Chains A and B, each alone.
Chain A
Amino acid sequence: EAQVTQNPRYLITVTGKKLTVTCSQNMNHEYMSWYRQDPGLGLRQIYYSMNVEVTDKGDVPEGYKVSRKEKRNFPLILESPSPNQTSLYFCASSLTEGAPYEQYFGPGTRLTVT
Chain B
Amino acid sequence: LAKTTQPISMDSYEGQEVNITCSHNNIATNDYITWYQQFPSQGPRFIIQGYKTKVTNEVASLFIPADRKSSTLSLPRVSLSDTAVYYCLVGGATGGFKTIFGAGTRLFVKA
Chain A interface (Cβ < 8 Å from any Cβ of B): 4, 31, 33, 35, 42-45, 48, 50, 56, 58-59, 88, 90, 92, 96, 99-108, 110
Give the secondary structure class of B's interface.
loop
Determine the chain B residues whose CB is within 8 A of the CB of A110 once the complex forms: 41
Q: Is the CB of B99 within 8 A of A58?
A: yes
Chain B interface (Cβ < 8 Å from any Cβ of A): 32, 34, 36, 41-46, 49, 87, 89, 91-93, 96-104
Determine the chain B residues whose CB is within 8 A of the CB of A50 once the complex forms: 96-97
> Which of A4, A33, A48, A101 touches B34 (beta carbons < 8 Å)?
A101
Q: Is the CB of A56 within 8 A of B96?
A: yes
What separation, in Å, do the CA atoms of A96 and B93 have in the docked complex?
A: 8
Give the secondary structure class of A's interface.
strand
What separation, in Å, do the CA atoms of A35 and B41 have in the docked complex?
A: 13
Q: Is the CB of A101 within 8 A of B99?
A: yes
> Which of B43, B49, B103 touches A101 (beta carbons < 8 Å)?
B49
What separation, in Å, do the CA atoms of A58 and B100 have in the docked complex?
A: 9
Of all chain A residues, which has the CB nearest B87? A43
| Interchain residue pairs with CB less than 8 A apart (15) | A43-B101, A44-B101, A56-B96, A58-B98, A58-B99, A88-B41, A90-B44, A92-B43, A99-B32, A100-B93, A102-B34, A102-B46, A106-B43, A108-B43, A110-B41
